[in-house]
Amino acid sequence: MNKDQVKGSIKDAVGKVQETAGKVVGSDTQRLKGIRKQVAGRAQKAVGDLKEVGQDIAGK
């Protein structure tokens, strides 16, 4: 696992918490911020996944 995968997973998890908190308190702004963090986290994790695949291919 590389840094992008770890950071992306953390952003996704933080975004889920923020989205849930926004739902609980009735804040659409916080809910949407949480969704944005999740999307950014998933994108960063995907970049990390691609880097890892590239390293695996280069290492063979």
Q: Please, which pLDDT band fits residue 59 given cuts at 50, 70 and 90? A: confident
User: What residue spans define the domains of the chain?
Assistant: 3-59
**Model confidence pTM above 0.85:** yes
pLDDT, mean of residues 28-55? 97
> What pLDDT is stored for residue 48 in this prediction?
97
End-to-end CA distance of the chain: 18
Q: Which helix (H) or strand (E) holds 33?
A: helix 28-59
Q: Closest Cα to residue 18, out of 41, 48, 1, 45?
A: 41
Answer yes or no: is pLDDT of 60 > 70.
no
Percent of the chain residues past pLDDT 90, beyond the cut: 95
